[in-house]
Every structure is written in C-alpha cells, then in structure tokens.
Structure 1
Amino acid sequence: MLLRLWERYHDAKDKTDTMSRLDSFIRRLTAQRDILNGIADEVKTLDGPVLELGLGNGRTFDHLRELFSDRRIVAFDRAANAYGPSMPEAGNLVLGEIKDTARDFIGIGASLAHADIGTGYEEKDAVTLTWLPEIMVGVLAPRGIAVSGLSLDHLDLEPLPLPAGVKAGRYFIYRRR
C-alpha cells in the first residue's frame, strides 16, 4: 500500500514537473550516476584521462574513481572543499576559476569530461555556457564522452541518448566528433 502511494506520488510529480528542491537534487544525482554507470564500459575502451569540472564535495569524483580506478582523474574547482577521502591527490587537483584553469588542459585527449557546474540561475548558467562547450570539446579526445548538467551547444558535440529512466533535459551526454 505504501509503495503504491509512493509510486503514485512520484508519477504525479513527474506529470506536473513540480517538485521540491530535495526531490530535484535527488533526481539530478540519480541521473548523473545512471549516466556515468551507463557510459563506463564505452569510456574504458578509449584512451585518456577523466576530467571532473566542478569537484564540489567530491561525491562524483569518488564515484569516478570507483568506475575508472586505472585512470588519471583530474578535478577542477575554485577551492578545495571535498570531504577528506574524496579529495584528489595534489597533482590531480586544479584550483581556480574553471574557465581559466581548464584551458591549460585543452589538447589533453580526455576519454571523459564531466561538468556539474550549473547553478540553477539562468543568468549565471548563460555566462557559463559562453565558455563551457568550447572547453569540453577542447579537452576531449575524438570520440570522447562529455557528460554535463547543462546543455552544451557545439558543432563538434553529438548528443547521445539518455539511459532509460533519465528524463530529457535533466542531464546531457555527448560524443566529441
């Protein structure tokens, strides 16, 4: 009975597209995890490091380490705020404004670049989108995968289908052409 009520509640939430910030956060992180898990096997067939644009508290970085334990994973953020065990080693942590520091990695040939740096404020995200697509293309190897919480509009990025259960517009996957 409770399960059916819970399912009905979530079905209704999906239909109205309104939800609490907590529900939205959970669905965004679930989409992120499902996408990263879904592309892991393909990324493992590609050469190159993994880049995490937006370390935050290190949750996604920690998940990337689980998925790609044999890869160099470079994380970028303004400041080091990750939970202790989720902090990258000094040589793989790049601090400063991502739009500036990530430019130094253009041409690195990353197999995967993940960016979860959206703010939820259209005006701020619009500024980020003036530089993020170009950086993602620049750091990726040909056929490398870009995963982003923001929609990336660039001729060299081919949109890929989302895994089942991930709502369109919640998260985005691309392949560099």
Structure 2
Amino acid sequence: MSRLESMRRRLTAQIEGLNWAAKEVGALKGDVLELGLGNGRTYDHLREVLPGRRIWVIDREMNAHPSCVPPEADFLQGDADRMLDRMAQAGTRLALVHYELGIGVAEADAVKSRSLSPLIAPLLVPGGLVISQDPLEGFERIAGPETVEADRYLFYRR
C-alpha cells in the first residue's frame, strides 16, 4: 500500500474514531485533550463534534493553521511529560484524550506513548476514553467503531 493510501486510511480512521468517541463521552464530565496539535486539523474537528467542551492542547511548538489555533489559555507549549504533570497538579479532569504525538517511526513512537501512559491515566475520569495512533499501557483496550480496522487506530477506556 502506498504512503498516500495509508494516510487516507489513517485520516478516515481518525474522523470515524473521533466522531464515535464524541458520542461515547457525551454524558461524561471532563475536558478534552489533543496531545499533539500539528497543523490543527484534528483540533478543529474536535471543536466541531464537541462544542462547549474545553479542549486542551499540548505540543512543543505552535504550527497550526491560523484558523485552528487554540485559545492561549488552553495551549500548553512544551514537552508532553512536563505539561501532563502540570495538568495533574492543576486537577484537570479529562473525558477524552486524542493521542497523536510522534515522528512516524513506529518503534520510537511506541516507546514515547508507553512512557506517557502513566501520566495520562490519572487525568481521565472513570469511563474516559483515549484514542491513539500508538499503543498505550495501563488502559483497557476496547473496540472502536466497526468501520475502523482493529490496529489502524487504538481505543482505550479508563
């Protein structure tokens, strides 16, 4: 499969997974975290499917399209581990985390996602969801929407 086809599969899985997750967390109290902003497409989608929810964003730098820049108070710039610790110290509670950090090298990205797992877990409310492109530890892996292949995107519940 070409990298272009792979990208299309990833984007389709993201959209369908986020739409599914927005319905799943509908009754849960808590904020949302976009872990890895990039150019802001996913953040923009989260704003659309979860109106009224505070959406935190963590990234090392601001590279988002101008229409996708989060409010300054919701953008935590820096290394994810330090920013997640800061959120925990502030008592932030999350209903949904979308994990999309990484450099696109599966082995390296898996090491990072596993190291951040114990920092994400305490932020989630009971029943909270994590949707990730990389494997996490310490969460119950669940099936996402039927339209998303099992290993294309990963779904976890606290």
TM-score normalised by L of structure 2: 0.93
Q: Which runs of 4+ in 1 moved over 2 A?
A: none
2:93 aligned residue: 109
| 1:144 equivalent among 125, 128, 151 | 128
> Aligned equivalents of 2:5 and 2:61: distance in 1?
27
2:59 aligned residue: 77
1:42 aligned residue: 24
The structure showing larger relative contact order (alpha-carbon pairs under 8 Å, at least 6 residues apart) is 2
**In 2 relative to 1, CA 150–91 (structure 1 residues): closer, same or farther, beyond 3 Å?**
same
Shift of residue 78 of structure 1? 0.5
TM-score normalised by L of structure 1: 0.83
1:12 aligned residue: none
1:127 aligned residue: 111
Matches within 5 A, 1:2-81: 19-81=1-63
Cα shift readout 1:99-150 (whole Å, capped 9, x = no counterpart): 2212211242101011111333134214303422112212211111111111
2:152 aligned residue: 170
Structure 1 counterpart of 2:25, one-letter code: V
Shift of residue 43 of structure 1? 1.1
Shift of residue 58 of structure 1? 0.3
Contact persistence 1:59–1:86 (CA under 8 A)? yes
What CA RMSD, in Å, does the superposition of the two structures yield over aligned residues?
1.3
SS at match of 1:44: coil
1:10 aligned residue: none
Contact persistence 1:118–1:149 (CA under 8 A)? no
Gaps of 5+ in 1: 1-18
Gaps of 5+ in 2: none
Q: Which segment is superposed worse, 85-94 or 36-45?
A: 36-45
